[in-house]
Amino acid sequence: MFRRLIAILVVIHGSAFAEDLPARPNIIWIMCDDLGYGDLGCFGQKTMATPRLDQLAREGMRFTDFYAGCTVCRPSRLSLWTGKHMGHTPISSNANYHFKPEDVTVAELLREAGYRTGGVGKWAMGGVGTSGFPLKNGFDFWMGYLDQGEAHNYYPTHLWRNGQRYPLAGNVLSDHPAARGRVASRKVTWSHPVMTEQAFGFIRENREQPFLLHVHWTIPHANNEGGRVHGDGMEVPDYGPYEDRDWKNTSKGQAAMVTWMDRDVGRLVDLLRELKIDRRTLVVFTSDNGPHSEGGHKHEVFDANGPLRGFKRDLYEGGIRVPTIAWWPGVVEPGTTCSEPLAFWDFLPTACELAGVKTPEGLDGFSFVNALSGKPQRSHDYLYWKYGKKEAVRSGQWKLIRTSPGKPVELYDLKTDPGEQRDVADGYQEEVKRLRGYMAKAGKQ
């Protein structure tokens, strides 16, 4: 009888575990590079296979309205790590930026609270000898690419493991002038599995204590320079299940990357279960921005932005709304969906709440632990993005976009028009005025 009562309460009120979250859980943030909203089966993909991520969504929660920090790489990561939107970050484009001593990262906050902090993949915030080096910004361990441009190349001569070069056997760089040192003429060791095994090693080594792990894979980003040199920047060791498809090689390469990524998410989840730490580990899977049309591949081939308009470098939904899944057995109710508009700058406060750390003042984000545990989630008054001279703000169902200073603003009702096909600014001037006010407020440094 008691169990039946609990089951009824779960149906009515949400997760039965909401009142008693595991203390100081492990936190794993998996972020792919240039993965589109429509690239996963659980978000509508029909051609590329993503069975393990689809399973993750069935066992966890899909976030349908989750947003990247920006529409390109470096500022999006900056937002993620500092809890601030583009109105309050030093850059809002891929301009060079190294973390400064005064910047406070989520890794610093959790390390001070006794977490082991690690990461693999693309860093982009400063190399060895700079103030932006990962180990100077809260990380106990980092393995992968430190330079954002070098991360284009899937066959580099080396990666970085903490402050040391980590050679990748057999790879030789091309001397072609258009390669810019980012294309290999001899391709032997593919970087993705090397970094993935390092992530798995970090989990095994730290399974007895709470840890924060960022898995920032570079797939399915294109090698832009590879596309310019030989027309194909989708660098993979083989095309896997797509080898015999009657497709262009760039399409095969893109699909193979997505499928490889999907398999490795599954392997990570299997490892957590093997180590019996799955019930005290939150896994969030997402992408750093919208899909690319680079390296000889076009995002339209696999309908990578799904029902959304735009792609990487746009502030339309396709450039910033990203496929996001949260998985935490015993806490996140299986098969659930969160449609609350949330963003990368909410991650730092979320991690702080889970770790029992006081959240710093002056942030733009707030915790979404309530959403994870089935409780009513606090709503943002607005979300704000900037990319160069482009600006956008979302408040509830309304989205205002300024594509350039000289053009009229555009207003979209995302409730009825998520694809942003009907500009209704002329008919809703009060909403335009209200969102303009948010835009002006957010854009002030």
d(CA 159, CA 105): 23
Which amino acid, one-letter code, is at 115?
Y
Q: CA distances (Å), 383 to each of 185, 352, 398, in order? A: 44, 21, 11
Q: Which amino acid is present at 426?
A: D
Other CB atoms within a 10 A radius of the CB of residue 267 amount to 14
Q: How buried is residue 416: exposed, middle or buried, by Cβ count under 10 Å (0-12/13-18/19+)? A: exposed
pLDDT of residue 444: 65
Q: Kindly report the CA angle at 348 between 57 and 122, in degrees rounded to 5?
A: 75
- Pairwise CA distance, residues 115 & 110, whole Å: 5
Which amino acid is residue 214, in one-letter code?
A: H
Written as tens digits, the pLDDT of the chain (445 aa) is 333 333 333 333 333 333 578 999 999 999 999 999 999 999 999 999 999 999 999 999 999 999 999 999 999 999 999 999 999 999 999 999 999 999 999 999 999 999 999 999 999 999 999 999 999 999 999 999 999 999 999 999 999 999 999 999 999 999 999 999 999 999 999 999 999 999 999 999 999 999 999 999 999 999 999 999 999 999 999 999 999 999 999 999 999 999 999 999 999 999 999 999 999 999 999 999 999 999 999 999 999 999 999 999 999 999 999 999 999 999 999 999 999 999 999 999 999 999 999 999 999 999 999 999 999 999 999 999 999 999 999 999 999 999 999 899 999 999 999 999 999 999 999 999 999 999 999 976 4
Topology classification of domain 389-445: Arylsulfatase, C-terminal domain (3.30.1120)
CA distances from 297 to 253, 293, 323, 411, 427 (A): 9, 6, 20, 31, 39
Task: Give the per-residue pLDDT at 336.
Answer: 98
Specify the DSSP class assigned to residue 289: S
Residues forming CATH 3.30.1120.10 domain(s) in the chain: 389-445
Cβ distance 86 to 119 under 8 Å? Answer: no
Q: What is the pLDDT of residue 404?
A: 92
Quote the pLDDT of residue 406. 86
* CB neighbour class for 209 (10 Å; exposed up to 12, middle 13-18, buried from 19): exposed
pLDDT score of 20: 74
65 three-state secondary structure: coil
Q: Find the length of the chain.
A: 445
Q: The tokens 């693309």 sit on which residue?
A: 122
Query: Which CATH homologous superfamily contains domain 21-381?
Result: Alkaline Phosphatase, subunit A (3.40.720.10)
Instruction: Provide the β-strand partners of residue 118.
Output: 141, 213
Q: What b-and-e string marks burial along 305-315, b requiring 16 or more CB atoms within 10 Å of the CB? A: bbebbbbbbbb
DSSP per position, 164-210: EEEE-TT-EE---GGGTT--EEE----HHHHHHHHHHHHHHHTTTS-
Report the alpha-carbon distance of residue 241 to residue 260 in Å, rounded. Answer: 10
Query: Which secondary-structure segment (H or E) carries 412?
Result: strand 410-413
Residue range(s) of every CATH 3.40.720.10 domain in the chain: 21-381
